[in-house]
Chain A
């Protein structure tokens, strides 16, 4: 048995434990940074007071406690987007697929804009359902268009359908928004993703969706590993490819839709987290999914901290930051890793 294990080390990626430890350390560092830095920098004592001494009511301790909520919220958003990106790349077998390529973000945005413009909707509780509905309907639409014809939903057809749909939807968003200045003001605030508005209510709203999404993701992981070898191989291995794509896409859309509804569209996290994880851990989706949640959370939290520091005394929305950090790093990854079809 030990001999067999010795010949089969790759079923647990080589550096899994080292990588996990590294990510946990990075997580702790990013959480500490998120608590300490901002318009006002908090020292070690204030940090400890705010975290572990509930009866200390110093100004510093109170600031730290407020930042706890924001930090948890940003970590959850990052985790949701990270897993969503990993799922969408698996489902489309396309290394650059992410919610925006499949048009899912735009669909969520269109529904939110319609809500603001025609139904005077302005609270997160209402946004969330609109955004999820928009994301789902768009995903179903894109999936249906992409699976027309005998060969079914091939990666290429899905991406093409997504790009076309996205173009149509974003022109609709603009068409609805331009004549209505009030919508523009409200939507513009939402359109740039930010985790600064995070509060306990939003977190509570978020948790069930996050858990359901991640649970479905983990359940589909072994089948997604088979799907990575091509639809024909997966079918031969007994995977119902249509069903698995549907479940995994549902989870991906749900996670992205909820994160988009609560924080606004934040780009690149799904793409970035997944590629970082893939680089260090390899192509096994069973490990990519949970680690992408970790890394997504870390990246978003760090970006948020950077936004607070750079925008001081105000702050720069994290959505702007992730685009700035994400784009060049993605180009770098693309060049280095000679990414081809997954």
Chain B
């Protein structure tokens, strides 16, 4: 079971080059829960995730882990607490599943020790959690998109961090695989207490799977809270400029967004 952490953004300003995308955002990630960042394209949700996961250096403010700015923590040490699965990782030619997942052990290894029993166990467990032990020796190129994504998540799991960032982990996947990935991440969160923060495009899946939502618009945090408390048609209109009805998801009893377009409406 993982330990609890405080992880927060303080007056964070960030962007690419001179362009400011995130403007003075402060938020605190709930420990041991699954948080999802939602918002329209270009609202800064991916930038927020990347800045908190130290891929982008903020131009103002700081990201604070257990009271310390993450930029003052040695990178390997930080990588034992905070893990990250970016949107488009590179698959080296000819790499096997086990080799790729094993590379997630990097922050736990030193030059002198080499592979320890702990490393083998962590990799075996990660493969097991993602149900991919059977393909440990297969080449990544032979796998389907959904299987590949499970391999990448297993790589991040082998890192054994208490906090895990995922940037749109279900993009380009069929609905079946999207549900499978989200279920596996929920298992991880329930079994290990891993704090998960991710960006998702699908509001309804976000509403179903998130313990906590952050809604972003134009680089500002406009709402945060549990899906049931914050997801209203007013919020969706504000964040996405979309008229909708919110009903109860008959399966999960979470809010379900029914968009209202210009056509196919009864009224």
Contact = CB atoms under 8 A, between A and B. Distances in A.
A binds B: yes
A239 B74 CA distance: 10
Interface in B84-117: 84-100, 102-104, 106-107, 109, 111, 115, 117
Main secondary structure of the interface of A (DSSP, over half): loop
Interface stretch (A27-35, A176-184, A278-286, A314-322): A278-286
Contact of B137 (A9, A228, A230, A235): A9
B120 A8 contact: yes
Contact of B123 (A1, A8, A239): A8
A327 interface: no
B143 interface: no
17 contacts: A4-B117, A10-B99, A150-B17, A226-B103, A229-B90, A229-B92, A230-B90, A232-B55, A232-B89, A233-B85, A233-B86, A237-B79, A238-B80, A282-B96, A282-B99, A342-B90, A342-B93
Q: Is the interface of B mostly helix, strand, loop or mixed?
A: mixed
A238 B78 contact: yes
B51 interface: no
Nearest to B141: A338
Interface string B136-157: 1100000000000000000110
Contacts of B29: none
A223 B54 contact: no
A228 B102 CA distance: 13
Contacts of A225: 103, 106
Contacts of A156: none
Interface in A273-296: 278, 282-284
Contacts of A238: 75-80, 106-107
A337 B111 contact: no
A77 B242 CA distance: 66
Interface in A71-111: 93, 95
Contact of A4 (B54, B78, B86, B121): B121
Given A226-B106, A239-B106, A233 B77 contact: no
A230 B87 CA distance: 11
B159 interface: yes
A16 interface: no
Interface residues of B, number: 52
Nearest to A95: B93
Contacts, number: 124
B102 A230 contact: no
Sorting the interface of chain A by its residue count into under 10, 10 to 19, 20 to 34 or 35 or more gives 35 or more
A250 to B, nearest CB: 18
B165 to A, nearest CB: 8
B38 interface: no
A235 B55 contact: yes
A281 to B, nearest CB: 9
B156 to A, nearest CB: 8
Given A4-B120, A283-B92, A339-B93, A236 B98 contact: no
A92 B214 CA distance: 37
Contacts of B2: none
Contacts of A237: 79, 103-104, 106-107, 159
A59 interface: no
Nearest to B74: A238
A283 B53 contact: no
B72 to A, nearest CB: 14
A278 B94 CA distance: 9
B89 A278 contact: no
B80 A278 contact: no
Contacts of A149: 17
A341 interface: yes
B133 interface: yes
Interface string B65-79: 000000000011111
Contact of B111 (A9, A11, A219, A339): A219
B16 A150 contact: yes
Contacts of B124: 4, 7-8
B171 to A, nearest CB: 15
B117 A342 contact: no
A186 B47 CA distance: 57
A232 B166 CA distance: 12
B44 interface: no
Interface string A1-19: 1001101111100000000
B39 interface: no
B193 interface: no
A240 interface: yes
A336 interface: no
A53 B77 CA distance: 58
Contact of A11 (B17, B102, B104): B102
